[in-house]
Structure 1
Amino acid sequence: MQNLQKVTIQYCEQEDRIRLTGEVENAAPVVIWLTQRLLQRVLQALLKHDQSEGGLHSHHHIFQSFAQQAATAELEQTPQVSVQPAVESSVWLVNSVDLANSEQRVELTFRGSDDQQVRLLLNEMLLRQWLAIIYGLYLKADWPLDVWPDWIGGNASATNSQQAVRMH
């Protein structure tokens, strides 16, 4: 299975979908499409811990907010070069996402039809940056924000939808 080394995530208004263009080792970049419905499910699983606590304690909410602000600030300060698709890029729709958590990272395995799959490995900082970018794209797309916890709210709105996340 190929690991995504660097990704660029953009909202495509014509498709009303999110396009993830990713570099993989020793291959042309891949272009995968994510629907709102699938992303809602992924986000619910990723954010489940915080939502399951219901009435979050104010100190927990403040910690999450500060950690999110720090990750977003670091993302905004680091110059990024977008990943560009190539003529030979594989382009496909994501049908499912496998999520694996460990103390060190989160693994998202995006699966399409015909055994198409790529994996995105995110440590805590990269996960927070990825969430900030996705949140910004939700705002741009005018998609419902009910899946998002309050602590992410004002932190990602300034995130540029063209930004890339460096993976290694």
Structure 2
Amino acid sequence: MSGIRRFTTDYVAVEDRIRLSLERSDGTVRILWLTRPLLNKLAARLIERVDAAVSTDRPLTSGVRQRFVQQAAEASLKPQEPVRPGGSTRQAGVAMLVTSIGLRDGQGVLTVEFKGGDQVLEAAPFTGEALRQWLGVLYKCYCHGGWGGDFWPGWITPDRSLADMARMN
């Protein structure tokens, strides 16, 4: 399996799903479709991991620190052209529905395994900062799709005041 060079995550209204367009190191593009119920479970698990990584005995301090680290991670995300399948056969873009997701820890990296049945379709490694960046992108996709989710913490939502964050922690 070729490694992932970069990917684009976006909400597709006509499908009411999230599309991951993955550019692999060999230049091929693969499209993975993610449903809302599957993403709800994944996002909640990823948020739990990020929350657990910041330990503190004062909830307000934790929420403020989380918001700061989240904003810094999102600000460091460099804009680039989105990954899209092209016209050539090599770039045609195989599309598959993700039916389950596995998480694997190792050497400071969390690998998200996107599966179709029992088969791993793609495996995307995330550092702590990259995971935060992707959570920010997923949150924006949820907003764009009008999807709710009571699992989104105050530190990832853009319009929360410190007082709101203190009540949520």
* TM-score range for the pair, normalised by the shorter chain length: 0.7 to 0.9
Deviates most, 34-43 or 23-32: 23-32
| Superposition deviation, residue 27 in structure 1 | 4.8
Q: 1:105 aligns with which of 109, 115, 119?
A: 109
Partner of 1:60: 62
Partner of 1:69: 71
Letter in 2 for 1:23: E
Partner of 1:121: 125
Partner of 1:163: none
Partner of 1:44: 44
Report the secondary structure of 2:69's partner residue. Answer: helix
C-alpha change, 1:45 and 1:114, in structure 2 (3 Å) is closer
Partner of 2:165: none
Question: Structure 2, unaligned stretches of length 5 or more?
Answer: 160-169
Q: In 2, are the aligned partners of 1:2 and 1:117 still within 8 Å (CA)?
A: no
Q: 1:147 aligns with which of 146, 151, 158?
A: 151
| Superposition deviation, residue 62 in structure 1 | 0.8
| Superposition deviation, residue 86 in structure 1 | 3.5
In 2, Cα distance between equivalents of 1:31 and 1:56: 42
**Identity %, equivalent residues:** 32
Report the secondary structure of 1:153's partner residue. Answer: coil
C-alpha change, 1:83 and 1:35, in structure 2 (3 Å) is same
RMSD, aligned α-carbons:
2.2
| Superposition deviation, residue 143 in structure 1 | 0.5
Letter in 2 for 1:96: S
In 2, Cα distance between equivalents of 1:98 and 1:56: 32
| Superposition deviation, residue 56 in structure 1 | 6.8
Q: Deviations for 1:104-154, whole angstroms, at most 9, x for unmatched residues?
A: 111101011483510111101111110000000100111013111111010
- Structure 1 moving runs of 4+ over 2 Å: 48-51, 113-116
In 1, Cα distance between equivalents of 2:152 and 2:37: 14
Q: TM-score, normalised by structure 2?
A: 0.81
In 2, Cα distance between equivalents of 1:66 and 1:102: 26
Q: Deviations for 1:37-90, whole angstroms, at most 9, x for unmatched residues?
A: 000011121122538x9x971111111000001011112xx2311111145321
C-alpha change, 1:56 and 1:145, in structure 2 (3 Å) is farther
